[in-house]
């Protein structure tokens, strides 16, 4: 197996130009339990071939593919995509048991390896990696994924010198959020983006200072199975 070039390398090559030509045909992948496989389309719209490596991780972005133990196989793991051509990646569940009462979250990595420079060309090259979520979805989960964001219970609290918005997800679906902010006393305080795991919580640090004792509103953009953003809001009481 080829050894991948990670983001650490990219960070060292700050002076090098970065150009990722390979396009992933999805922003997230839903893997229904029981499906023999799912496919992810890649497209190389560039005028030159591209060499791509693909693998799955369970949340550790810095882990080497050789050390990962995830219950999926990606095929092909390494492929050359010709200019203006596409390639289908096949993702297959190995059958290893996963939680049956909630979604399990993994990440699909697509690494574009730069071509070898021409003789005498001392220009540095960077490998470009893209990671997208893969949600393994068991059968017969209670409720619908589209309704999960509205069920999140929000609160605001102070942690040391930082105000945070916390969302608790009472359901079995991963709640993906493209943006979160808090609106209070005429201010809009951004809190970033992220996801809330099933039956779990996630904290979103506020970029600013909330007004204690006031009623506030959490606004968010929830991302559905297709990556489309759907706005939502919830009222919260500040401590």
Q: pTM of the predicted model, to two decimals?
A: 0.86
* Residues found in the chain: 239
Q: How do residues 111-129 score in pLDDT, each as one tens digit?
A: 999 876 544 455 556 789 9
Q: Contact, 216 vs 182, CB < 8 A?
A: yes
198 pLDDT higher than 90: yes
Q: How far is CA 165 from CA 69, 114, 168, 174, in A?
A: 33, 40, 10, 18
First to last CA, the chain: 54
The CATH architecture assigned to 145-237 reads: Sandwich (2.60)
Same topology between domain 7-137 and domain 145-237? yes
Q: How far apart are CA 162 and CA 172, in angstroms?
A: 29
How much is the pLDDT for 176?
Answer: 98
Q: How do residues 3-42 score in pLDDT, each as one tens digit?
A: 443 333 333 333 334 455 899 999 999 999 999 999 999 9
Residue whose structure tokens are 């929000």: 154
Bridge partners of 32?
137
CATH of domain 7-137: 2.60.40.10
Q: Contact, 218 vs 189, CB < 8 A?
A: no
Q: How do residues 155-172 score in pLDDT, each as one tens digit?
A: 998 888 889 999 999 999
How much is the pLDDT for 215?
Answer: 83
Spell out the domain ranges in the chain. 7-137, 145-237
Q: How do residues 124-153 score in pLDDT, each as one tens digit?
A: 567 899 999 999 999 999 999 999 999 999
- For the chain, give the mean pLDDT: 88
């Amino acid at each position: 197996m080829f050894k991948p070039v990670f983001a650490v390398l990219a960070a060292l090559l700050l002076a090098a130009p970065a150009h990722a030509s390979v396009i992933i045909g999805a922003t997230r992948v839903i893997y229904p339990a029981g499906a023999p496989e799912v496919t992810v389309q890649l497209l190389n719209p560039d005028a030159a071939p591209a060499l791509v490596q693909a693998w799955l991780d369970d949340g550790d972005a810095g882990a080497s593919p050789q050390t990962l133990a995830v219950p999926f196989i990606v095929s092909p793991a390494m492929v050359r995509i010709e200019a203006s051509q596409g390639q289908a990646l096949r993702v297959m569940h190995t059958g290893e048991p996963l939680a049956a009462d909630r979604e399990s979250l993994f990440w699909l990595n697509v690494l574009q390896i730069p071509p070898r420079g021409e003789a005498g060309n001392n220009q540095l090259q960077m490998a470009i990696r893209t990671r997208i979520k893969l949600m393994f979805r068991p059968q017969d989960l209670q409720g619908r994924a589209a309704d999960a964001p509205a069920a999140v219970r929000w609160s605001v609290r102070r942690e040391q010198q930082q105000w945070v918005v916390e969302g608790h997800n009472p359901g079995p679906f991963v709640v993906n959020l493209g943006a979160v902010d808090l609106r209070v006393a005429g201010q809009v305080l951004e809190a970033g983006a992220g996801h809330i795991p099933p039956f779990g919580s996630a904290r979103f640090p506020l970029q600013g200072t909330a007004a204690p004792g006031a009623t506030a509103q959490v606004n968010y953009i929830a991302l559905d199975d297709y990556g489309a953003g759907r706005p939502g809001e919830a009222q919260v009481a500040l401590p």
